């Protein structure tokens, strides 16, 4: 239920952050204003005893996020790729959330495998190792197929993970609802829609049959991409809670020392990660949307191996073209065109001034070019972008959430491999190639041909469709009788419950 009872969950979140020491560490890393630090700690300090203790052997922030649950762990995974935002020390600590979480017992995994596949373990695998990687939703075991002797990776969902995610998402929904009610200005960011989008993404991760299908499609799309690999799925030994795929040998992308010691070209790897992401997003409209270091391996021959296909992004043709034109405009420093694309796509309200918006975009883009990437503060850049979008009334585009989030993650991975990478120079050839193929006379001819094909299929029905439209238009309008609104009672109930809950919380804080 997404009711006010979720206040308790949110209170425990703040209490856990304070009790584990994560609140202070996070405030320091984000350079929060002193007044905000004092206010935040004054609110949660009296109730810190309500928070989870967590594993005291783990650093404060990952300790708190691990104790709070899988949805919070996902948030920490994103931050682990952004040392420019949270600092290198905290980013290093958060990397343990990618694939080094506490595993559940091997015996529990074996029972799940047998129940899901409907056969004894010995008939499926001749050997199943202890967990080799454990993440927020599932863990992986190395195994050997009983019939072929092939080494495979077996992914098994954590016990009770569906219920744990449901609890966290319900609390997020309630927090989004409260934010919208208490801060009307935040509604342009559509927090409830953002959580709904996140819920849909998580649902895909909790059914490994969907992940297997995504991996299979991704493999087909990228089969010709030099330097990039996707392991093949073993459908015969996969189900809703178990997924089997070929074993991939390599160094984790998070282990920079081993990558360097193995003699790999880190600058080349950084470029390849970023370019592959852009190529998949623009060319295919289907991209890996969780490309943090824990989901990437470097093969002995230098190929990048992608793992974990629970979160995949999908872009339609129109959105891809808009995204490409925006990137291309930044690369060419054509801020007027970037502004026009925003208006044409409806991202910015039509009553705003396009020239003023273009000048605001120039203030974002110009400082990037010609600079060493290590000198750019992404935290300040994101902060300024937020100010620009707020000033021009841009709303959150839920169809772009995964794309924007993944771009942030991929840039963080590329920068960890090559701290001096220039994202715009690396992106330029991929975006230019897409522009040549999909925007211009060639693309217009292709679009017209596709339109003609669609219309041809409807050719025999066009007279009937036209007649039906004319008849519908000639009919007199029938007044719609709407029933009396029923939401007043619901609103009164939740308002009373919310007031009671807030009063209880305030009493706890003052006691």
CA-closest candidate to residue 249, choices 153, 124, 128: 153
Task: Give the pLDDT score at 299.
Answer: 95
- Round to whole Å and give the CA distance between 329 and 365: 10
Confidence of residue 225 (pLDDT cuts 50, 70, 90): very high
Distance in angstroms (rounded) separating the CA atoms of residues 68 and 72: 6
**pLDDT, position 496:** 39
pLDDT exceeds 90 at position 96: no
Q: Give the residue-averaged pLDDT of 171-186.
A: 73
What does DSSP say about strands 138-145 and 228-229: parallel, antiparallel, or unpaired? unpaired
The confidence score (pLDDT) of residue 298 equals 96
pLDDT score recorded for residue 108: 94
Residue 89 CB partners (closer than 8 Å, separation 6+): 29
pLDDT at 46 (0 to 100): 79
Asked which of 74-83, 86-95, 318-327 is least confident by mean pLDDT, the reply is 74-83
**CB 71, CB 169: distance < 8 Å:** yes
Average pLDDT on 472-496 reads: 49
For the segment 351-356, the average pLDDT, to the nearest whole number, is 90
Q: Give pLDDT, residue 117.
A: 94
Active site members: 290
Distance CA 111, CA 383 (A): 48
Average pLDDT over residues 72-101: 71
Residues 6+ apart with CB under 8 A from 122: 146
Range in 33-47, 126-140, 226-240 the model is least confident about: 33-47
SS3 412: helix
Burial profile 215-239: b = 16 or more Cβ within 10 angstroms, e = fewer: bbebbebbeebeebbbbebbeebbb
Q: 159: how many CB neighbours lie within 10 A of its CB? A: 15
Give residue 489's pLDDT.
43
pLDDT of 127 strictly over 50:
yes
- For 315, other C-beta atoms within 10 Å of its C-beta total 21
390 vs 424, residue with greater confidence = 424
pLDDT of residue 446: 63
Instruction: Specify which residues 141 forms β-bridges with.
Output: 131, 154
Q: At residue 242, does pLDDT exceed 80?
A: yes
Q: Which CATH superfamily is domain 101-159+210-247 in?
A: Phosphorylase Kinase; domain 1 (3.30.200.20)
User: Three-state SS across 436-482?
Assistant: HHHCCHHHHHHHHHHHHHHHHHHHHHHHHHHHHHHHHHHCCCCCCCC
Q: Per-residue confidence at 500, pLDDT binned at 50, 70, 90?
A: very low
- Bigger pLDDT: 276 or 22? 276
More confident call, 436 vs 373:
436
The pLDDT mean for the chain works out to: 79
pLDDT at 497: 40
Rounded CA-CA distance 155/77 in Å is 19
Q: 169 pLDDT exceeds 60?
A: yes
CB of 153 within 8 A of CB of 248?
A: yes
Residue 355 is predicted with a pLDDT of 92
**DSSP tag of 371:** S
pLDDT tens-digit series, residues 362-386 = 887 777 666 665 565 544 555 566 5
Q: What is the mean pLDDT of residues 495-508?
A: 39
Question: Using CA atoms, how far apart are residues 86 and 76, in angstroms rounded to an integer?
Answer: 11
Higher pLDDT, 445 or 396: 445
Q: Return the pLDDT at 509.
A: 36
Strand order in the sheet with 304-306: 228-229, 304-306, 296-298, 251-252
Instruction: Determine the distance from the C-alpha atom of residue 374 to the mean position of all C-alpha atoms in its chain, rounded to a whole number.
Output: 24
CA-to-CA dists, residue 511 to 5, 505, 507, angstroms: 20, 10, 6
Residue with tokens 């034109």: 325
pLDDT of residue 374: 59
């Amino acid at each position: 239920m997404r009711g006010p009872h979720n206040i308790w969950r949110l209170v425990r979140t703040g209490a856990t952050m304070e009790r584990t020491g994560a609140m202070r560490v996070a405030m320091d890393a984000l350079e929060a204003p002193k007044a905000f630090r004092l206010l935040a700690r004054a609110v949660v300090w009296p109730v810190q005893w309500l928070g989870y203790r967590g594993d005291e052997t783990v650093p404060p922030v990952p300790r708190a996020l691990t104790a709070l649950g899988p949805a919070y762990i996902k948030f920490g995974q994103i931050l682990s790729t952004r040392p420019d935002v949270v600092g290198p020390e905290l980013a290093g600590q958060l990397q343990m959330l990618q694939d080094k979480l506490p595993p559940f017992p091997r015996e529990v995994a074996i029972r799940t495998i047998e129940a899901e596949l409907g056969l004894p373990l010995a008939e499926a695998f001749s050997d199943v190792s202890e967990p080799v990687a454990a993440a927020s939703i599932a863990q992986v075991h190395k195994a050997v197929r009983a019939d072929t002797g092939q080494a495979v990776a077996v992914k098994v969902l954590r016990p009770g993970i569906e219920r744990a995610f449901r609890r966290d998402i319900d609390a997020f929904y309630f927090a989004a609802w409260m934010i919208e009610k208490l801060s009307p200005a935040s509604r342009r960011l559509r927090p409830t829609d953002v959580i709904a989008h996140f819920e849909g993404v998580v649902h895909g991760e909790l059914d490994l049959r969907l992940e297997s299908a995504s991996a299979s499609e991704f493999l087909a799309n990228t089969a010709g991409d030099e330097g990039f690999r996707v392991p093949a799925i073993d459908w015969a030994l996969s189900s809703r809670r178990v997924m089997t795929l070929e074993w991939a040998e390599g160094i984790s992308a998070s282990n920079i020392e081993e990558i360097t010691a193995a003699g790999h070209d880190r600058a080349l790897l950084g470029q390849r990660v970023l370019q592959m992401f852009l190529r998949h997003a623009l060319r295919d409209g289907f991209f890996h949307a969780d490309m943090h270091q824990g989901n990437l391996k470097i093969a002995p021959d230098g190929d990048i191996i992608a793992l974990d296909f629970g979160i995949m992004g999908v872009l339609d043709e129109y959105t891809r073209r808009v995204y490409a034109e925006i990137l291309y405009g930044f690369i060419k420093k054509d801020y007027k065109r970037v502004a026009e694309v925003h208006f044409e796509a409806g991202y910015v309200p039509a009553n705003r001034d396009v020239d003023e918006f273009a000048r605001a975009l120039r203030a974002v883009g110009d400082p990037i070019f010609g600079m060493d990437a290590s000198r750019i503060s992404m935290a300040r850049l994101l902060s300024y972008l937020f100010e620009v979008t707020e000033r021009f009334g841009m709303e959150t585009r839920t169809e772009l959430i995964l794309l924007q989030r993944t771009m942030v993650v991929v840039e963080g991975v590329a920068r960890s491999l090559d701290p001096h990478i220039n994202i715009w120079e690396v992106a330029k050839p991929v975006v230019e190639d897409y522009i040549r193929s999909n925007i211009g006379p060639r693309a217009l001819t292709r679009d017209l041909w596709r339109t003609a094909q669609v219309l041809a299929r409807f050719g025999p029905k066009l007279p009937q469709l036209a007649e039906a439209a004319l008849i519908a238009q000639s009919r007199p309008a029938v007044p719609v009788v709407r029933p009396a609104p029923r939401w007043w009672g619901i609103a009164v109930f939740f308002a009373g419950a919310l007031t009671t809950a807030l009063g209880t919380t305030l009493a706890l804080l003052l006691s």
